Chain A
Amino acid sequence: MIRYVALRLAGMAGVLLVICAVTFTIFYVFPADPALQACGKSCTPERLAMLHHQMGLDRPLWRQFTGYLTGIFAGRSYGEGPLAVQCHFPCLGFSYQNNTPVWDLMMRRLPTTLSIAAGAAVLWLAGGVAVGVMSALRKDTLLDRTMMVGTLTSASLPIYFTAMTLTVLVVQVGGLLPYSSYVPVGQDPAGWAKNLVLPWVALALLYAAMYARMTRASMVETMAEPFIRTARAKGLPERTVVAKHGLRAGLTPVLTVFGMDLGALLGGAVITESVFGLPGLGRLTIDSIETSDQPVVMGVALLAAFFITFANLVVDLAYAVVDPQVRFS
């Protein structure tokens, strides 16, 4: 077990390292000279050269890369002597736009993204699984067909379309909720929830539909297994058969996908945040791409990749705990 986890962690580190290298290449080799932007309009060649030196852009690419890596684990300083700027662990550089450490910028945005993802995940998991199980237990009835047509449609809805429709209907016409904005949960929990209901519902509609279809397929298969017949033959009430035997086996694949979806969403719900104007990681990504703020783009990309690989690891470990057939190898 420990050996397995260690191996997986090493693998994860390897993947992140490669992603880091690829990101670095994309963002530092392709775009225009960042020093030129930092220099401003009245830029003299001397000042440009100094900035180049201070930002470390005059060093060979691999030295810049190792510098970046060192910064993440140990912090680093830019420039030398009295001009040196200290960047503390975990150092992902400074934003070209406002000279804030990238890490601080991201941590300021993370609560919004976390709030969106967590609320939506609760809704879609509960809704999707409930609909899926109901559909599976009443397979081929009118209810099942109706729900499956409904989920298919719901899964085809583009998120911005749902978002705009919901806003027009609920906020503009209905006047039931305020236009979405972010209120920190510690400050006003009720306001926090009220402001995030629409993004949650918009995301949940999309994901719940996919989960309902997945749950249905998995449960239909599970309920036809011999061990379900055995459980019924033992005289267990149907409720127990479904809840204790069916769900446990039937939901394992759903939980796998859930872990990965949640991991991907933590990197920022780019479109949802854009439509609802919420200041999360996704919005930060878009804004920093628009302003060619490479250190920030790189930071967010790395953080997102970290969430994805980490979720993968957690899912695999959880799988091994739930399903005794899985061996650590």
Chain B
Amino acid sequence: MSAPSLAEGRAATPPPLGRSPWRTAARRLRRDPAALIGLGIVLLFVLMALTAPVLTALNGHGPNEFHPEKIDKALAGAPKGALGGVDGDFWLGVEPGTGRDVFSRMVHGARISLLISVLATGVATAAGTALGLLAGFSGGRLDALISRVMDLVLSFPQLIFMIALVSVLPEGNRTLELVFVMGFFGWPYVGRIVRGQALVLRSREFVEAARAAGMTRARILFREVLPNLLAPILVYATLTVPINIGTEAALSFLGIGVRPPDSSWGQMMATAMTWYQVDPMFFVVPGVCLLLTVLAFTLLGDAFRDALDPRSATR
């Protein structure tokens, strides 16, 4: 009995020759300048986040090192020198009020911003995929229940609830709290897409063939359905990261994100709020970082979508 072989043809493992959808997509991506720019910027920031301790060792100032000699007490703590105190030693100037090195805080901020937003995307995607599959594949009452819950979570005023939840949660690991709160409000978006796709796939011929061949439900789910969902999930996850970067920054901006002395780009923006008229340089640095990462992830997500869409012409 050759039950598995019936399924092999449609499975995700690429055949050694010829063009699997993933190979076609990779080919398309390599020729898409927008994708390459996006990928380049993302890699740059990831590298920056990973090597943050090395980078701060290079310039010799830790992210939480105070430099009172760099700020002007007479001007309520505004940085001395042009452009927020930029010089050969402090490459992007110093934080007003404290004199902490902006470059060091920026690279360490990259760690927190990226870590939280990527993890939150992971949580939302995993939960959304699992529940969406469950709803779409089982149908009936379970589907109705999960769909109602998704609608419900989507009707919550999200930012208000995130702020409220984070502020009433017991003191603990703030990073983890942010990840789960953001993940909790994010999963229905993935869930709806996965459910819709699963509903369509459920009645496709290859799934029926697998069922007729006697495959177990779990095997059908993992070998037949899930591989076909990877493309939309990947696209959606890539486009969720920038949204989460924005949300984390917004929460930190409102003072309920990361706790001091940790830095994140949102936290830097929040500090900059009180200083932006005196020292514009200080809000430009985290602002540009946020702009670039959000832009890069969006470019990348759009490129993934175009490249993985079987309807678009093969180039």
Interface residues in chain A, defined as those with a beta carbon under 8 Å from any beta carbon in chain B? 15, 18-19, 26-27, 30-31, 152-153, 155-158, 160-161, 164-165, 167-168, 172, 264, 267-268, 270-271, 274-275, 285-286, 289-290, 297, 300-301, 304-305, 308-309, 312
Residue of B nearest to A11 (CB): B151
Taking a contact as CB atoms under 8 Å apart, the answer to whether A312 and B161 are in contact is no
Which residues of B sit under 8 angstroms from A155, Cβ to Cβ? 298
Option from A31, A165, A301 in Cβ contact (under 8 Å) with B161: A301
Taking a contact as CB atoms under 8 Å apart, the answer to whether B254 and A153 are in contact is no
Taking a contact as CB atoms under 8 Å apart, the answer to whether B287 and A301 are in contact is no
Option from A157, A168, A268, A274 in Cβ contact (under 8 Å) with B291: A157
The 10 A-B residue pairs with the shortest CB-CB distance, nearest first, are A304-B157, A161-B287, A156-B294, A30-B168, A156-B295, A164-B276, A267-B157, A158-B290, A164-B283, A31-B168
Residue of B nearest to A213 (CB): B302
Option from A164, A267, A275 in Cβ contact (under 8 Å) with B160: A267
Min C-beta distance of A170 to chain B, whole Å: 12
Taking a contact as CB atoms under 8 Å apart, the answer to whether A18 and B163 are in contact is no
Residue of B nearest to A179 (CB): B277
B164 in the interface, Cβ–Cβ < 8 Å?
yes
Taking a contact as CB atoms under 8 Å apart, the answer to whether B157 and A274 are in contact is no
Taking a contact as CB atoms under 8 Å apart, the answer to whether B167 and A289 are in contact is yes
Contact with A along B237-256 (1 / 0, CB 8 A): 00000100010011001111
Taking a contact as CB atoms under 8 Å apart, the answer to whether A297 and B283 are in contact is no
> Once bound together, how far apart are the Cα atoms of A23 and B293, in whole Å?
34
Which residues of A sit under 8 angstroms from B256, Cβ to Cβ? 289
Contact with A along B260-293 (1 / 0, CB 8 A): 0000000001001100110010011001001100
Min C-beta distance of A227 to chain B, whole Å: 21
Which residues of A sit under 8 angstroms from B168, Cβ to Cβ? 26-27, 30-31
- Known contacts A30-B169, A168-B276, A271-B159; 11 additional CB pairs below 8 A are A26-B164, A27-B164, A152-B295, A153-B295, A158-B290, A158-B294, A160-B273, A161-B283, A164-B287, A267-B157, A300-B160
Which residues of A sit under 8 angstroms from B169, Cβ to Cβ? 30
Taking a contact as CB atoms under 8 Å apart, the answer to whether A161 and B159 are in contact is no
Taking a contact as CB atoms under 8 Å apart, the answer to whether B160 and A18 are in contact is no
Taking a contact as CB atoms under 8 Å apart, the answer to whether B287 and A172 are in contact is no
Min C-beta distance of B127 to chain A, whole Å: 18
> Once bound together, how far apart are the Cα atoms of A164 and B151, in whole Å?
35
Which residues of B sit under 8 angstroms from A168, Cβ to Cβ? 276-277, 280
Residue of B nearest to A260 (CB): B154
> Once bound together, how far apart are the Cα atoms of A312 and B253, in whole Å?
29
Which residues of A sit under 8 angstroms from B164, Cβ to Cβ? 26-27, 289, 297, 301
Known contacts: A161-B269, A274-B254. The answer to whether A301 contacts B299 by CB under 8 A is no
Which residues of B sit under 8 angstroms from A164, Cβ to Cβ? 272-273, 276, 280, 283, 287
Taking a contact as CB atoms under 8 Å apart, the answer to whether B299 and A152 are in contact is yes
Taking a contact as CB atoms under 8 Å apart, the answer to whether A160 and B269 are in contact is yes
Which residues of A sit under 8 angstroms from B161, Cβ to Cβ? 26, 301
Taking a contact as CB atoms under 8 Å apart, the answer to whether A289 and B163 are in contact is yes
Option from B254, B272, B298 in Cβ contact (under 8 Å) with A152: B298
B173 in the interface, Cβ–Cβ < 8 Å?
no
17 sample A-B contacts, Cβ–Cβ < 8 Å, listed by A number: A15-B152, A15-B155, A30-B169, A153-B291, A153-B295, A155-B298, A160-B287, A161-B287, A164-B280, A165-B287, A167-B277, A270-B250, A285-B163, A289-B163, A289-B167, A301-B161, A305-B155
> Once bound together, how far apart are the Cα atoms of A271 and B273, in whole Å?
12
Taking a contact as CB atoms under 8 Å apart, the answer to whether B287 and A275 are in contact is no
B165 in the interface, Cβ–Cβ < 8 Å?
yes
Contact with A along B6-46 (1 / 0, CB 8 A): 00000000000000000000000000000000000000000
> Once bound together, how far apart are the Cα atoms of A157 and B169, in whole Å?
30
Taking a contact as CB atoms under 8 Å apart, the answer to whether B160 and A172 are in contact is no
Which residues of A sit under 8 angstroms from B167, Cβ to Cβ? 289-290
Option from A156, A172, A264, A304 in Cβ contact (under 8 Å) with B277: A172
B156 in the interface, Cβ–Cβ < 8 Å?
yes
Known contacts: A30-B169, A271-B253. The answer to whether A156 contacts B287 by CB under 8 A is no
Min C-beta distance of B284 to chain A, whole Å: 8
Min C-beta distance of B197 to chain A, whole Å: 20
> Once bound together, how far apart are the Cα atoms of A168 and B246, in whole Å?
22
Taking a contact as CB atoms under 8 Å apart, the answer to whether A19 and B155 are in contact is yes
Which residues of B sit under 8 angstroms from A285, Cβ to Cβ? 160, 163
> Once bound together, how far apart are the Cα atoms of A304 and B169, in whole Å?
22
Which residues of B sit under 8 angstroms from A160, Cβ to Cβ? 253, 269, 273, 287
Which residues of B sit under 8 angstroms from A157, Cβ to Cβ? 291
Which residues of B sit under 8 angstroms from A172, Cβ to Cβ? 277
Min C-beta distance of A30 to chain B, whole Å: 4
Option from A30, A152, A167, A301 in Cβ contact (under 8 Å) with B157: A301
Taking a contact as CB atoms under 8 Å apart, the answer to whether B291 and A156 are in contact is yes
> Once bound together, how far apart are the Cα atoms of A322 and B49, in whole Å?
50
Taking a contact as CB atoms under 8 Å apart, the answer to whether A270 and B163 are in contact is yes
> Once bound together, how far apart are the Cα atoms of A297 and B161, in whole Å?
9
> Once bound together, how far apart are the Cα atoms of A1 and B295, in whole Å?
44
Which residues of B sit under 8 angstroms from A297, Cβ to Cβ? 160, 164
Min C-beta distance of A205 to chain B, whole Å: 12
Residue of B nearest to A172 (CB): B277
Which residues of B sit under 8 angstroms from A30, Cβ to Cβ? 168-169
Most chain B C-beta atoms within 10 Å of own C-beta, residue among A157, A164, A297:
A164
Taking a contact as CB atoms under 8 Å apart, the answer to whether A304 and B160 are in contact is yes
